[in-house]
């Protein structure tokens, strides 16, 4: 029998990998908290219609990438492919309209059936920020600033560029949509089959097409900003001015869009080519029509999601693992006392390791392998004097310490 392997597109987070992930998660959590965003979590699966409504029936995620299954009760369920839909559903389900703006941070696994590649898996992890109930441009600025700050803290910001665009309000989108339909209709024979279908349902999604022929047409398509009304132009100007005030550099990308109708105004991505082909580390935008799409009252919102795998690969200065202190009993008589010392020191918050078996030499080798900073040796002589030998493994120095004073001596250990 061949050795068992993980399912394609999934991977084990071994301790070193998990430490990097946890560093990304904790850094993001701390920054979000500083901005007043409280952490929450939604179920790992939802009714399929939650994602079908919010991501669009014709989107690649819904039509090709979702992991859906039928429950025993005959209901269609889907493992979450992203966080926003679940958080917005939770906002409605829990009657959170009374505490707007509702500011949330979340982090956890997502699932999409797509071709595995560097930094992208079928089970992957995201950090997520949502601000629901704030229509002001100040919310856009704040949400982008959170992403910028997280990237700064992770040492990644200089490896990426903030690309930003405006999608305008509903009036602007309708005007642009009509122009776009007319333009692509004139080039129908050159469109891919997927884009021909999108033309009638959601023409803005053609702008996201990866088909080479479609990309040529997109390059010459009308530009959204030419169809913005005065309100949309002023709103975007306020966002850009706010970013400049905070010293957040950006690049205007007039081709950056979000295809679904409930997306409005600001769309942005922090993109990098540090992992090979250009990809987004953080991507988001304003979704003023999303809550209503789910059956709630019209409520503005803006948020973003970031890929933890990619961020973990690029993050610098990951904190070194905590170096433990090794407890080494010398002889069987010292084993019970060493076990009690180990337990007591752990209860004080110290990282303590005691090998389950082996002579002193083997236990010392294990201590060195674990990069222990100190070793506590206790044998029959030390037991008789109610003390131990504390060895500083970095300095190579050793001192006798009374057991009653051991905890304080370890606290002082450099």
Mean of the pLDDT values across residues 259-277? Answer: 86
β-pair type (38-39, 325-329): unpaired
pLDDT in tens, 376-407: 999 999 999 999 999 999 988 999 999 999 99
Q: Tokens representing 125?
A: 């992890």
48: how many CB neighbours lie within 10 A of its CB? 17
- E strands in 319-409: 325-329, 352-353, 374-378, 387-392, 397-402
d(C-alpha 86, C-alpha 65), whole Å: 17
The proportion of the chain whose per-residue pLDDT surpasses 90, expressed as a percent, equals 64
The candidate with the shortest Cα–Cα distance to 410, out of 399, 339, 379, is: 399
Supply the pLDDT for residue 118: 65
- pTM, rounded to two decimals: 0.88
Per-residue pLDDT band for 60 (boundaries 50, 70, 90) equals: low
Identify the residue whose tokens are 């009993």. Answer: 329
Contact 258, 233 (CB under 8 A): no
**pLDDT tens-digit readout, 2-21:** 789 988 888 899 988 999 99
Q: Which of 272, 263, 237 is closest to 162 using CA atoms?
A: 272
Q: What pLDDT, in 10s, does the model give residues 154-180? A: 999 999 999 999 999 989 988 888 898
- Spatial contact of 290 and 111, defined as CB atoms under 8 Å apart: no
How confident is the model over 49-65, as a mean pLDDT?
Answer: 73
Q: Residue 126 — φ and ψ, nearest 5°? A: -130, 150
Among 14-23, 32-41, 274-283, the minimum mean pLDDT is found in: 274-283
Domains along the sequence of the chain with CATH = 15-169+229-314 (3.30.930.10), 325-412 (3.40.50.800)
Cα atoms in the Cβ-side hemisphere of radius 13 Å centred on 400: 7
Residues linked to residue 267 through DSSP beta bridges, in sequence order: 165, 285
Residues contacting 122, CB < 8 A, separation 6+: 7, 8, 9, 10, 111, 112, 113, 114, 116
Largest CA distance in the chain: 95
Helix ranges (H only) for 154-286 are 170-185, 193-201, 212-219, 230-245
Q: Is 152 helix (H, G, I), strand (E, B) or coil?
A: helix
Average of per-residue pLDDT values in the chain: 91
Residue 264 has pLDDT above 60, yes or no: yes
């Amino acid at each position: 029998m061949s050795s068992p392997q993980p399912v394609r597109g999934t991977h084990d987070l071994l301790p070193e990998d998990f430490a990097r992930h946890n560093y990304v998660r904790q850094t993001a959590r701390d920054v979000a908290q500083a901005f007043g965003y409280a952490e929450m979590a939604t179920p790992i699966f939802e009714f399929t219609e939650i994602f079908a409504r919010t991501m669009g029936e014709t989107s690649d995620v819904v039509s090709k990438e979702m992991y859906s299954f039928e429950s025993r009760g005959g209901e269609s369920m889907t493992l979450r492919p992203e966080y926003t839909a679940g958080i917005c559903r939770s906002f409605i389900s829990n009657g959170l309209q009374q505490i707007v703006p509702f500011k949330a941070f979340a982090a956890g696994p997502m699932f999409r059936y797509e071709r595995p590649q560097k930094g992208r898996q079928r089970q992957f992890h995201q950090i997520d920020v949502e601000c629901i109930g704030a229509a002001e441009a100040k919310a856009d600025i704040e949400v982008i600033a959170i992403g910028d700050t997280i990237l700064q803290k992770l040492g990644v910001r200089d490896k990426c560029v903030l690309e930003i665009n405006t999608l305008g309000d509903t009036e602007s989108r309708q005007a642009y949509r009509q122009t776009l339909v007319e333009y692509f209709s004139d080039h129908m024979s050159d469109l891919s089959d997927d884009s021909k279908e999108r033309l009638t349902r959601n023409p803005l999604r053609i702008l996201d097409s990866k088909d080479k022929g479609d990309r040529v047409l997109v390059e010459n398509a009308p530009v959204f900003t030419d169809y913005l009304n005065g309100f949309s132009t002023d709103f975007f100007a306020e966002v850009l001015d706010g970013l400049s005030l905070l010293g957040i550099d950006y690049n205007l990308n007039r081709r950056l869009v979000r295809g679904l109708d409930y997306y409005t105004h600001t769309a942005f991505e922090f993109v990098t080519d540090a992992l090979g082909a250009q990809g987004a580390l953080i991507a988001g935008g304003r979704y003023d029509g999303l809550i209503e799409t789910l059956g709630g009252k019209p409520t503005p919102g803006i948020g973003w999601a970031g890929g933890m795998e990619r961020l973990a690969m690029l993050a610098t200065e990951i904190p070194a693992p905590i170096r433990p202190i090794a407890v080494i009993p010398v002889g069987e008589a010292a084993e019970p006392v060493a076990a009690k010392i180990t337990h007591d020191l752990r209860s004080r918050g110290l990282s303590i390791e005691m090998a389950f078996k082996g002579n002193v030499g083997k236990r010392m080798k294990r201590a060195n392998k674990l990069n222990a900073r100190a070793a506590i040796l206790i044998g029959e002589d030390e037991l008789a004097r109610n003390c131990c030998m504390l060895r500083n493994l970095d300095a190579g120095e050793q001192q006798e310490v009374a057991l009653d004073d051991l905890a304080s001596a370890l606290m002082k250990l450099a």
